[in-house]
A and B are shown apart, each in its own frame.
Chain A
Amino acid sequence: MIDIMDLLGSIENKEIFGHSLSSWILSLVILIIGIVLAKFFSHVTWKWTRNRLDRHGQDIFKKIVYYFVVIVFVMESLNNLGIDFSGVLVAGGVVGIVLGFASQTVVSNLISGIFMYFDKPLKIGDHVVIESVNGVVMDIDILSTKIRTWDGNLVRIPNDKLFNSIIENKVSNEVRRIELSVGIAYKEDIDKAIETIRNVLNGHTYVLVEPSPVIFVNDLGDSSVNITIKAWSPNDYAYQTKISLLKLIKEAFDREGIEIPFPQRDIWIRKRD
Chain B
Amino acid sequence: MFDMREFGIEIKEEKEKFIYRRNGTEKVIFGKKIQFDLFPVAPSGISSYLYLKLRTPIMIQPENKIKFRITAPYDIEVRALKKGKWISIERIVTQNEKYALYGPIESGVLCRYFESDIGEREDTAILDLGIENQTKEWQEINKIVFPINFDLSYDKKVHYPQFDLTLTSTGLVISKKDTLKGIKEIEKLINVQKKYTMLWGY
Chain A residues in contact with chain B, CB under 8 A?
A: 172-175, 205-206, 208-211, 232, 234, 236-237
Contacts and interface: CB of A to CB of B under 8 A. Distances in A.
Nearest to A212: B100
Interface in B70-114: 97-102, 105-106, 108-110, 113
Contacts of A236: 46
Contacts of A237: 46
Contact of A234 (B51, B102, B106, B110): B110
A66 to B, nearest CB: 37
Interface size of B as a range:
10 to 19
A209 B106 contact: no
Majority SS at the chain B contact face: strand
B101 A211 contact: yes
Given A175-B110, A234-B46, A234-B110, A206 B99 contact: yes
6 contacts: A175-B101, A175-B105, A205-B97, A208-B98, A208-B113, A209-B98
B105 A234 contact: no
Given A209-B113, A236-B46, A173 B99 contact: no
Interface of B: 46-47, 51, 53, 97-102, 105-106, 108-110, 113
Per CB-CB distance, the 8 closest pairs between chain A and chain B, nearest first, are A210-B100, A209-B100, A174-B110, A205-B97, A209-B113, A175-B101, A208-B100, A209-B98
Contacts of B98: 205, 208-209
A105 to B, nearest CB: 35
A211 B53 CA distance: 14
A175 B103 CA distance: 11
A209 B46 contact: no
A173 B105 contact: yes
A237 B113 CA distance: 16
A209 B53 CA distance: 11
A209 B109 CA distance: 13
Contacts of A234: 46-47, 99, 110
